Amino acid sequence: MRDSFTTRLLPTGKPEEFKTAVRAAADLLRRGGIVAIPTETVYGLAANALNPEAVSAVFSAKGRPSHNPVIVHVDSMPMAHRCVREWPVQADALARAFWPGPLTLVMLRSALIPDSVVAGGSTVAVRWPRHRFVQALIEACEFPLAAPSANPSSRTSPTTAEHVWESLAGKIPLIIDGGPTWVGIESTVLDVTIDPPRLLRPGMIHAGALRAVTGKITTGGGPNDPVLRSPGLLEKHYAPRAALLMGSWADATELACRLASCKADKRGIHLLVHTIPPMNPGAYGRLAILPRDPEAFGRLLYAELHRSDALGAQLVVVERPPDSPEWQGILDRLSRAAQGRL
């Protein structure tokens, strides 16, 4: 792949635009190229999952470490079955309950899947996305897509085509604009090679919903595993350019005292809260009050972090979400993005 491109941005809002975008993306992918595409979770940087050179181009464009595996996206159960060596009974129940949707299942890889996709491991992470464009694209290509988030490695994932453009224009040939994503954080990842299944990465399909299907799950997996089985397990991930601190406070007075101890200039501090705002919000660079509903919060979180970066924030302070199951995916993302606690 070349080191620089004239990047095209194609819309999908009208039927003819949608068809044109599918044709253009499919043609590029068939030729071993890479394309930024919308999904319901975040925008992904897609390549033919069966083409090692194309997958390597994705890693190169992102600056992604080779030991961090990527998710394989499919458009049907038969395609998913072709990507794996064994199909556990639990996988059937989970697929019936949550596919297509933001759930990734880790299973033993088939011989079709290159080492570069799975970081040389014995398992592959597979997802059937709900987004109409991705489904149409995979159907047109007739092969699965390897698609990590379309952003520089370890940075905040993109939830709009504009976020992709800001970081990857000139590095990739094509970005498909499918509008804002509606889940907003990456998929839940569940390892079904063991019984009970192991939750590797929480997401908006939370542990309680998974247990309703499987009966029991365990948690664990991280950067100290000999081979990573899923993306999203590195200690630093999802981070904005500005330093990010997460914290809790009893009231506006306590928040003001904690902010006073920060070394950053007040005008460089951006606040993302979901309960109590500061006593003097105008003293800070920016205040965003996010919804107290986890799904609505998740849809907006990355967009707010991108906005703070665009406005030149020195420090982003985020109010810690509740510890309840439906917030665990958001708490995971913020914990990995944070440089410490307020």
User: Could you check whether 8-219 and 243-341 share the same CATH topology?
Assistant: no
Give the pTM: 0.95
On the question of a cis peptide bond just before residue 277, with omega within 30 degrees of 0, the verdict is no
Strand ranges in the chain using DSSP code E only, listed in sequence order: 8-11, 35-37, 44-48, 71-73, 103-108, 123-127, 145-146, 174-177, 188-191, 198-201, 218-219, 243-247, 269-273, 286-289, 315-319, 340-341
Token pair 């290159």: residue: 114
Residue type, 229: R
Average pLDDT, the chain: 95
Q: Return the pLDDT at 330.
A: 97
Contact, 154 vs 237, CB < 8 A? yes
Place of tokens 């595996």: 69
Integer angstrom CA distances of residue 87 from 81, 94, 151: 7, 11, 32
Q: Looking at residue 225, what is its pLDDT?
A: 66
Chain centre to alpha carbon of residue 241: 17
What band does 1 get if pLDDT is binned at 50, 70 and 90? very low
pLDDT score, position 61: 97
Q: Where are the domains of the chain?
A: 8-219, 243-341
Task: Please say if the pLDDT value at position 223 is more than 70.
Answer: no
Candidates 1.10.10.60, 1.10.3720.10, 3.30.930.10, 3.40.50.11030; correct CATH number of 243-341?
A: 3.40.50.11030
pLDDT tens digits, residue range 145-175?
A: 999 999 999 999 999 999 999 999 999 999 9
Contact 37/129 with Cβ under 8 angstroms?
no
Say which residue, 220 or 245, is predicted with more confidence.
245
On the question of pLDDT at 43 being above 50, the answer is yes
CB 135 within 8 A of CB 35: no
The pLDDT score that the predictor gives to residue 2 is: 46
Q: Domain 8-219 is of which CATH architecture? A: Alpha-Beta Complex (3.90)
